[in-house]
Amino acid sequence: MELSQEEKIIETTAAYVQQALAGAESGHDWFHIYRVWQTARAIAEGESARLPEPAGDGSGVNLLVVELGALLHDIADAKFHNGDEAIGPIKARFFLETLDLPAAIIGQVVNIVQHISFKGGNHFKGQGKGQLSNESQADFYTPELGIVQDADRLDAIGAIGIARAFNYGGFKNRAIYDPAIAPALHMTKEQYKQSTAPTINHFYEKLLLLKDKMNTATGKAMACERHLFMERFLEQFYAEWEGKA
Ligand code: ADP
Ligand code: NI
């Protein structure tokens, strides 16, 4: 079957990202990108079914922008570049300019990469805003950014989110659970990073809060399912801890 021009662009981008992330740590490896990509597509589909057909004037959800944004969103994680949040968008633009794409599409994708990189506006809404180098960054929003951000957050919850959390905790040599150490809400971002709390605490400090941060109705519905799954997991976990299940 002949691939369309857009399908070729997506395929080329996926191949580029896959090789660029070879050797990335497991929290942000190619498989994270793959999941966010598929989830973003599913959300875009859900939103398109819910919303009126995109008008010919460019309003509505642009699926190409969503897919490219999802594929490139972690292309250079600032954590591994001395916190330099400009690297991701620069790398993304550099790559996109090698493809046959309209400048407007490139601009929209780079904006997604840029705004997902600003962790201050990501997981620490409200607390982290002061860390943005440019306050107006926090106000940028497009439906495509909302979809990719939802897909990225969805990868931190549900069965995958549970696996990622314990994987991260194991990497940091943290206990899975310690009844004597209560979850600490309202930590600053710095305190949070220094925390050596058991992994179960991470559910209360972050994972169980994510469903209320969804941008789209489709993302929210998926988040609610995954949230229920985490609640069931925790219930079973505590029951087993006491030998009661
Ligand atoms: P993101 O790319 O979403 O900003 P992070 O680097 O904060 O993600 O986290 C990557 C993965 O590791 C996520 O699934 C997240 O839930 C998990 N993680 C981050 N911090 C902790 C923690 N303190 N305890 C357990 N898991 C964590
Ligand atoms: Ni991500």
C-alpha distance from residue 175 to each of 138, 164, 165, 180, 186 (Å): 35, 15, 12, 12, 21
Instruction: Please give the distance, rounded to the nearest whole angstrom, from the Cα atom of residue 101 to the centre of ligand 1.
Output: 33
Question: Of 61, 90, 118, which one is at a domain's C-terminal end?
Answer: 118
C-alpha distance from residue 65 to each of 16, 29, 98 (Å): 16, 21, 16
Q: Are residues 235 and 169 both part of a single domain?
A: yes
Question: Ligand 1 within 6 A of 156 CB?
Answer: yes
Mean pLDDT, to the nearest integer, of 135-156?
87
Q: Quick check: is 225 in a domain?
A: yes
Using CB atoms within 10 Å of the CB of residue 191, give its burial: 0 to 12 exposed, 13 to 18 middle, 19+ buried: exposed
Question: Ligand 1 within 6 A of 165 CB?
Answer: yes
Identify which of 202, 209, 211 to mutate to test ligand 1's pocket (most ligand atoms within 8 A of the CB): 202
Best CA proximity match to 76, nearest among 64, 60, 94, 63: 94
Q: Are residues 165 and 105 both part of a single domain?
A: no
Q: Are residues 8 and 105 both part of a single domain?
A: yes
Range of the domain at 104: 1-118
Do 96 and 41 contact (CB within 8 A), yes or no? no
How many Å is the Cα radius of gyration of the chain?
19
Q: Give 13-36 pLDDT, tens digit per residue.
A: 999 999 999 988 878 899 999 999
Q: Are residues 113 and 2 both part of a single domain?
A: yes
Question: Ligand 1 within 6 A of 153 CB?
Answer: no
Q: Are residues 83 and 168 both part of a single domain?
A: no
Mean pLDDT, to the nearest integer, of 91-117?
95
Cα 149 to Cα 122: distance, rounded to the nearest angstrom? 8
Q: Are residues 181 and 77 both part of a single domain?
A: no
Instruction: Please give the distance, rounded to the nearest whole angstrom, from the Cα atom of residue 168 to the centre of ligand 1.
Output: 7
Q: Are residues 105 and 202 both part of a single domain?
A: no
CATH number of the domain enclosing 231: 1.20.58.1910
Instruction: Flag whether pLDDT at 121 surpasses 50.
Output: no
ipTM of the complex: 0.96
Q: Quick check: is 150 in a domain?
A: no
Question: Tell me, what's the pLDDT at 123?
Answer: 38
pTM: 0.89
Between 158 and 85, the higher pLDDT residue? 158
CATH number of the domain enclosing 36: 1.10.472.50
Q: Are residues 95 and 167 both part of a single domain?
A: no
Question: Of 118, 133, 168, which one is at a domain's C-terminal end?
Answer: 118
Instruction: Please give the distance, rounded to the nearest whole angstrom, from the Cα atom of residue 117 to the centre of ligand 2.
Output: 9
Residues 6+ apart with CB under 8 A from 232: none
Helix, strand, coil percentages for the chain (3-state, nearest 5): 65, 0, 35
Ligand nearest to the Cα of 34, by number: 2
Q: Quick check: is 202 in a domain?
A: yes
Q: Quick check: is 42 in a domain?
A: yes
Q: Give 197-242 pLDDT, tens digit per residue.
A: 999 999 999 999 999 999 999 999 999 999 999 999 999 999 999 9
Q: Quick check: is 151 in a domain?
A: no
Q: Are residues 93 and 165 both part of a single domain?
A: no
Question: Of 60, 92, 118, which one is at a domain's C-terminal end?
Answer: 118
Ligand nearest to the Cα of 193, by number: 1
Cα 104 to Cα 106: distance, rounded to the nearest angstrom? 5
Question: Ligand 1 within 6 A of 219 CB?
Answer: no
- How many angstroms from the chain centroid is the CA of residue 119? 10
Q: Are residues 235 and 170 both part of a single domain?
A: yes
Do 150 and 204 contact (CB within 8 A), yes or no? no
Instruction: Please give the distance, rounded to the nearest whole angstrom, from the Cα atom of residue 28 to the centre of ligand 1.
Output: 10
Cα 67 to Cα 73: distance, rounded to the nearest angstrom? 10
Instruction: Please give the distance, rounded to the nearest whole angstrom, from the Cα atom of residue 240 to the centre of ligand 1.
Output: 25
Question: Ligand 1 within 6 A of 21 CB?
Answer: no
Between 191 and 128, the higher pLDDT residue? 191
Q: Quick check: is 126 in a domain?
A: no
Return contacts of 104-111, CB within 8 angstroms, 24+ apart.
Answer: 105/62, 105/64, 105/65, 105/68, 108/62, 108/65, 108/69, 108/142, 108/144, 109/65, 109/68, 109/69, 109/72, 111/140, 111/142, 111/145
Q: Quick check: is 128 in a domain?
A: no
Q: Quick check: is 83 in a domain?
A: yes
Q: Are residues 169 and 228 both part of a single domain?
A: yes
Kindly report the three-state secondary structure assignment for every residue of 18-66.
HHHCCCCCHHHCHHHHHHHHHHHHHHHHHHHHHCCCCCCCCCCCCHHHH
Question: Ligand 1 within 6 A of 164 CB?
Answer: yes
Domain count, the chain: 2
Cα 230 to Cα 224: distance, rounded to the nearest angstrom? 10
Q: Are residues 71 and 161 both part of a single domain?
A: no
